[in-house]
């Protein structure tokens, strides 16, 4: 029996319980009670979620769990002395501890993320890095595993993290079967982007938006600053300054992100060779594309392609 302690607190997000559902369905797939979940809180009793639904909990005690998962909530400053002590004890006594979204702040306050890689919802990533500078915060990740500590992005990323745990415990086929029952893809790899490049840029002026749209539609071009500045009707110097001020990225970095995103979509379809894809999105050769993927998503193109094949196989099996 794999025991899981799921920690909640006032105003926690109910969506975190999606992870609990994944473990419940793993029991169904395996045909035995492989996972047992206990909901915990500092005081025990009924705890109110942000949606107004109350959940019955057990008080922190001396019980030890194989996995301890911490919920996420509306606030990021909900850490108490008792909760911090429980986090530190869980790290010593559990095989792994995990926190999605703002739950990363709970782990950070306890010091267990010091010197580790971690992620959280992109909206809170900068705040996490500013408050805890010893953490290597990677804001554009679905989930990260660093030793016994797991962190994930917000909302539905908790499902990806739970599926990855199930895969590690019981193998890929069990994880896929659970995903089918949840009606989700097998799972997104930890290195996948939390959000679209185009949504991330969000320029304030029509001129910069026009240049971005042009770049996205003409990725095979060189897309130099001069070319984009001409589209925007600005001098190269004016364009570079305006682009960085409005998007928070340099034109070169934004173009690289657009190319990686376009390449990722082609890779997941699995129909074209790496050389052809690199040429189609403007990387010129597969080595340049590989380096860009490592910088941007932390994984080589081949890993993204494998993920796409797994997803297609899962979908095809579901439709049969």
Residue 199 is predicted with a pLDDT of 55
Is the domain of 101 the same as that of 164? yes
* Residue 314 located in a structural domain: no
* Residue 316 located in a structural domain: no
* Residue 189 located in a structural domain: no
Is the domain of 59 the same as that of 99? yes
Is the domain of 27 the same as that of 165? yes
* Residue 187 located in a structural domain: no
Is the domain of 244 the same as that of 145? no
* Residue 286 located in a structural domain: yes
Of 182, 209, 234, the position where a domain reaches its end is 182
Of 150, 182, 214, the position where a domain reaches its end is 182
Whole-number Å distance between alpha carbons of 147 and 81? 24
Give pLDDT tens digits along the chain (320 positions): 899 999 998 888 888 888 899 999 999 999 999 999 999 999 999 999 888 999 999 999 889 999 999 988 877 667 788 899 999 999 999 999 999 888 999 999 999 999 999 998 888 888 999 999 999 998 767 788 899 999 988 777 888 889 889 988 998 889 888 888 886 655 454 444 544 566 567 788 999 999 999 999 999 999 999 999 999 999 999 999 999 999 988 999 999 999 998 898 888 777 789 999 999 999 989 999 999 988 887 778 888 787 555 544 433 443 34
Is the domain of 244 the same as that of 131? no
* Residue 318 located in a structural domain: no
Residue 316 is predicted with a pLDDT of 41
What's 239's domain CATH number? 1.10.10.60
Whole-number Å distance between alpha carbons of 175 and 185? 10
Whole-number Å distance between alpha carbons of 162 and 69? 10
Whole-number Å distance between alpha carbons of 24 and 21? 5
Is the domain of 174 the same as that of 204? no
The β-bridge relationship of strands 143-146 and 96-100 is unpaired
Is the domain of 55 the same as that of 154? yes
Question: Is the CB of residue 118 less than 8 Å from the CB of residue 138?
Answer: yes
The β-bridge relationship of strands 54-59 and 96-100 is unpaired
Is the domain of 204 the same as that of 246? yes
Print the domain residue range for 102. Answer: 2-182
Is the domain of 177 the same as that of 201? no
Which H or E run includes 280? helix 274-280
Is the domain of 161 the same as that of 287? no
Of 148, 182, 216, the position where a domain reaches its end is 182
* Residue 240 located in a structural domain: yes
Whole-number Å distance between alpha carbons of 78 and 31? 38
* Residue 85 located in a structural domain: yes
Is the domain of 9 the same as that of 130? yes
Whole-number Å distance between alpha carbons of 98 and 162? 10
When divided into structural domains, the chain yields a total of 2
What's 149's domain CATH number? 3.40.50.880
Is the domain of 209 the same as that of 254? yes
pTM over 0.75: no
- Please report where in the chains the tokens 């994880």 appear, as a residue: 175
């Amino acid at each position: 029996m794999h025991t899981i302690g799921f920690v909640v607190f006032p105003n926690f997000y109910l969506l975190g319980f999606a992870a609990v559902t994944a473990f419940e369905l793993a029991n169904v797939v395996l045909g035995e009670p492989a996972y047992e979940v206990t909901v915990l809180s500092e005081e025990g009793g009924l705890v109110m979620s942000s949606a107004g639904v109350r959940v019955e909990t057990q008080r922190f005690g001396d019980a030890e769990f194989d996995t301890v998962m911490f919920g996420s909530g509306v606030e990021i400053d909900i850490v108490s002395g008792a909760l911090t002590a429980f986090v530190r004890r869980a790290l010593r006594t559990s095989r792994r501890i995990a926190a999605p979204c703002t739950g990363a702040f709970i782990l950070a306050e306890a010091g267990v993320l010091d010197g580790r890689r971690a992620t959280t919802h992109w909206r809170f990533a900068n705040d996490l890095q500013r408050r805890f500078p010893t953490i290597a915060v990677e804001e554009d990740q679905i989930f990260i595993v660093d030793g016994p500590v797991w962190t994930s992005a917000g909302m539905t990323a908790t499902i990806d993290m739970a599926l990855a745990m199930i895969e590690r415990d019981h193998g890929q086929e069990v994880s896929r079967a659970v995903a089918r029952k949840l009606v989700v893809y097998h799972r997104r790899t930890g290195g996948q982007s939390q959000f679209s490049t185009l949504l991330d840029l969000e320029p304030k002026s029509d001129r910069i938006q026009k240049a971005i749209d042009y770049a996205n539609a003409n990725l095979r071009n060189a897309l130099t600053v001069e070319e984009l500045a001409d589209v925007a009707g600005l001098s190269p110097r004016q364009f570079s300054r305006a682009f960085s001020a409005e998007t928070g990225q340099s034109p070169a970095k934004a173009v690289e992100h657009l190319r990686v995103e376009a390449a990722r979509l082609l890779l997941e379809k699995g129909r074209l060779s790496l050389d052809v894809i690199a040429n189609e999105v403007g990387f010129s050769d597969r080595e340049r594309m590989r380096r860009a993927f490592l910088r941007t998503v932390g994984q080589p193109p081949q890993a993204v392609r494998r993920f796409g094949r797994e997803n297609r196989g899962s979908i095809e099996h579901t439709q049969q």
